[in-house]
Amino acid sequence: MAKDTPKEPKKEHKEHSATKEQQKAKSKEQHQKVQVTEAHKGAVIPMPKGYKVRMNELYLNTVRPALMKEFNLTSPMAAPKIIKIVINIGVSEAKENIQALDLAKEDLTVISGQAPQVRRAKKSISNFKLREGMPIAVRVTLRGARMYEFFDRFVSVSVPRMRDFQGIDPRFFDGRGNLNLGLREHHIFPEVNMEKSPKARGMNITFVTTAGDNKKGQALLENMGMPFKKPAKPEVKN
């Protein structure tokens, strides 16, 4: 009499329970994280090889020698320079409408030429209906060629489009040669599509330098074309 072959243990129940656990974990992650669509990929275009940035050439050939002469510096490495530019856009209405954050992210991508990072709330504040982890802003950090390109466009094109512009106040320096500039409207950048983004958004731009003090920082940015407010001349009494 032939022996019966041993029956294989049923795995259906285990597989079914495993898939249930995976689905629960996936739904939990989706519930905790707010889904933010990716920015328009066509807005970011890689720079061609061998491309020389005009503002970088200006710094190396003109600005740096002038700063070395003005501050009696012996080494070119001691001359102050811009190391990065940080741009922030706060989106308070993203708490109720996540599409507003997507729109701000797309605008910042077009302005900077680089995909921004979504910033989330670090603390929960009940008075502002804010919970920890909610996306409330977008930020981008520019270095190298993109940094100089943005600086060139900002000084040459965007600053002249400001309303009632009388020069940037030197008091915006933080004491270490870094300039913190707050803008009321992001529409000063011609890259922004007014039809898609009709609401004006405020933004903060920080120019981080190696100056170490306000005098060198202002001299660096002024030589590169940043228009600062001139001090008022004292009235001459007869």
Q: Is residue 155 part of a domain?
A: yes
Domain count, the chain: 1
pLDDT at 142: 94
Give the pLDDT confidence of 131-165 residue by residue, as tens digits. Answer: 777 777 899 999 989 999 999 999 999 988 888 88
| Spans in the chain with pLDDT lower than 50 | 1, 11, 14, 28, 30-43
Q: Is residue 65 part of a domain?
A: yes
Residues comprising the chain, all counted:
238
Q: Is residue 202 part of a domain?
A: yes
Cα torsion 97, 103, 108, 113: sign: positive
Q: Is residue 4 part of a domain?
A: no
Q: Is residue 187 part of a domain?
A: yes
Q: Where are the beta strands (DSSP E) in 71-134?
A: 82-90, 117-120
Query: What CATH number should be reported for the domain holding residue 153?
Result: 3.30.1440.10
Q: Is residue 133 part of a domain?
A: no
pLDDT at 32: 42
pLDDT at 35: 40
Q: Is residue 59 part of a domain?
A: yes
User: How many Cβ atoms from other residues are within 10 Å of residue 210's Cβ?
Assistant: 17
Give the pLDDT confidence of 64-76 residue by residue, as tens digits. Answer: 999 999 999 999 9
Under a CB-based contact definition with an 8 Å cutoff, are residues 187 and 104 in contact? Answer: no
For the chain, state the CA radius of gyration: 26
Q: Is residue 110 part of a domain?
A: no
| Domain containing residue 77 | 51-89+140-223
pLDDT at 205: 94
